[in-house]
Amino acid sequence: MFICIFFLSLFAMNSAISAESKLEQVTITATRTDTSGDDLPLTWTLVNQEQINVTNATHISEIMQKVPGAWISRGNGQESLVSLRSPVLTGSGACGAYLATWDEIPLRATGFCNVNQLFDINFEQASKIELIKGPAPSSFGSDAMHGVINILTAPPSLERDHKISFEYGAYDFKRAKYHYRNKSKSSGISLNANASSDEGYQTDSGYDQQKITLRWETFGDTWSTRFATELSNLNQETAGYIGGFESYKEDKLRRINPNPEAYRDSWSARAYARLDRKLSDKSNFIFTPYVRSTNMEFLQHYLPWQPIEKNQHRSLGFRSSIKNKGQKYQWVAGIDWEKTKGSLKEFQELPFSQNQPQGKHYDYTVNSNTQAVFGHSTLKLTNYWALDVGARFESTKYDYDNRLSDGSACSIEASNCRFSRPTDQVDRFSDLSLNFAATFNLNSKQILYLRTARGFRAPQTTELYRLQSGQVDAFIDSENIISIELGWRARNLGRVSFDAVLFKMNKDDVVFQDTNRFNIFGAKTSHHGLEASISASFENGLYFNSAITVAKHRYDGSIELFGAKKDIDGNDIDTSPRFFGSMQIGWNSFADRGLSLLEGEVIGLDNYYLDPDNLHRYQGHTLVNINNKWSIGPNLSLWLRVKNLLDKSYAERADFGFGQYRYFVGRNRSAHIELIYDL
């Protein structure tokens, strides 16, 4: 698969390199200012509005397949696990390895992330999705170690844009979408809403979901303002793993749901106001207060005793910055602050054993305060050389209150109680992130950059306060990561653009669960590889895109990891394929025949290990999708999308746990039809 994508990429480059095309300016908000992405000395990928529309994803994993270094493993329904220049990480703190943001504001508060948090956001109707790989710049704080997924709301449009669409697909999938965008000289509005329903591929595995996003803006000579709010709701019947070696290949087993009782309900709301005051021709002050609220309840079907978890948190905060932009020197500095109140309850309805008793396991609240100061500057030394430097200091305080008895949740007869509740306590974490980069302009269309950065994440509250097996204190600190990368970026070489980066990262003080099920820290991991993307377009309407990732993610040092049976130093971290990639080839010059666009997509995923001992493996898969669009009237268009065209039997995610192979099943061949009407 890698050879195929590599040579097709070279073919596209050689075919288009001599052609000329219009220079496209891409802006990225990674440093809290709209900056030309072509000049940024860090690894980023932009999924634009056109790619979002063509994909028309029913799950965010379908979009991320276009991004080198990113693989989102789909669970059942709208659930997911994220890999961003990393393995697919699991466990209570796994979501802290990357930062998910909405218009640069974190979806969840520091210490309160959730592995499934991306289903809260209206990515289906976003204007674009920015991804930063590796430790993020200083404008982002805790959790931005392996990267940032920043989903941007759609702004008002210069011309009135008013559409409604209806979609129907396999397994009784239904979705309706509405959007309205328009603006005048002084103000503008953007309204986007969608509702979807899916009966599910497996029995008793459907979901209903609704999302709405409103953005309103005003424009003035001195002040510009933006207000945005978003609501989402999910009610899901969840299908569990199917068990047995390569059971996903068996037609009789693929559609079975071994956990028909499982469910997940989630609700979220957030809003912000962005106040932008022009101080001079070169400087601005930006102040962005925001609020967020989340509620989630679900059955932990992946555990034999099946407890129910309820978690929620409420946040109030602001982000502030002053930026100054000159010809040779520019800088941005600011202060961020956030206050959060969160809670978690875990309850087991039925008796299981003395070590997993019926009743309440945990019931606690955490009040959190986070403050940060940061600065970032860029100095243009010559026409060819530029330096980029940034730093951030962040402090987080957790005030934990246990609302049950301290210590074991079991009776005195229990031999090894699974649940332990620490006493009330206050924990503080102070962290520093740094980044330094040098850029060399080969010419007006190509740059080389060398970047080194340090990132961090504060411990998640579940790692600190949901303890197990008699542990009375976690004694863990923040994780840290050091990264170095060498990148080469080219834009509009004829009709070709590409990015290539070599990276190496070392992570220290990794939080893990040891053989006694204690949450401890001190492990080390290493990560290195190559990420590349190539795109080309031709005058006849033919276009080509590819994304390639070749990487190794390994345990670095001897640790007594829970589930491991031997020394795992040097082993691959489980669920970390050494290669994955995608390729899209399309043609959009069929207007005389009514067909507006035809695109084919190939997705490849290499084999990967399922356990720290590297004894069990998933063989990987290759999938083919197609997208077709017809213009059937002046205001009417029709999309036909076929997923898994070759009807491949595959697993969205494979796992080995509780002594058996386990799989989240991938769907077989399925078609979706969407009708779009311009109002």
At 615 the three-state DSSP class reads coil
DSSP notation for 461-523 = HHHHHSB-TT--------EEEEEEEEEEEEEEETTEEEEEEEEEEEEEEEEEEBTT--EEEEE
Domains and CATH numbers, the chain: 2-253+271-304+318-678 (2.40.170.20)
Element (H, E) at 373: strand 359-380
Which tens digits make up the pLDDT trace of 533-570?
999 988 888 999 999 999 999 999 877 777 777 888 99
Give the confidence band of 591 by pLDDT, cuts at 50, 70, 90: low
Cβ atoms within 10 Å of 524's Cβ, excluding its own: 16
Give the confidence band of 484 by pLDDT, cuts at 50, 70, 90: very high
CB within 8 A of 137, min separation 6: which ones? 30, 31, 42, 376, 390, 435
Which tens digits make up the pLDDT trace of 297-313?
999 998 889 999 999 99
Give the confidence band of 522 by pLDDT, cuts at 50, 70, 90: confident
Element (H, E) at 403: none
Residue 594: the pLDDT is 60
> Mean of the per-residue pLDDT values for the chain?
91
Q: Which of 290, 282, 400 is nearest to 331 (CA)?
A: 282
pLDDT of 9 above 60 = no
Q: Which pTM was predicted?
A: 0.94
Give the confidence band of 592 by pLDDT, cuts at 50, 70, 90: low
Beta strands 161-169 and 147-152: pairing type? unpaired
Q: Contact, 663 vs 673, CB < 8 A? A: no
Give the confidence band of 370 by pLDDT, cuts at 50, 70, 90: very high
Give the confidence band of 25 by pLDDT, cuts at 50, 70, 90: low
The phi and psi torsions of 383 (rounded to 5 degrees) equal -70, -15
Q: Which of 376, 373, 283 is nearest to 337 (CA)?
A: 373
CB within 8 A of 208, min separation 6: which ones? 195, 196, 197, 234, 235, 236
Residue 90: the pLDDT is 81
Residue 634: the pLDDT is 84
Q: Which of 38, 128, 30, 109 is nearest to 332 (CA)?
A: 30
DSSP notation for 428-459 = EEEEEEEEEEEEEEEETTEEEEEEEEEEEEPP
Radius of gyration, alpha carbons of the chain? 25
Question: Does 673 or 6 have the greater pLDDT score?
Answer: 673
Taking the C-alpha atoms of residue 481 and residue 220, their distance in angstroms, rounded to an integer, is 42
Which tens digits make up the pLDDT trace of 98-154?
999 999 999 999 999 999 999 999 999 999 999 999 999 999 999 999 999 999 999
Mean pLDDT check: name the lowest of 16-25, 66-75, 222-231, 459-468: 16-25
Amino acid letter, residue 348 = Q
Token pair in block for residue 39: 């000049």
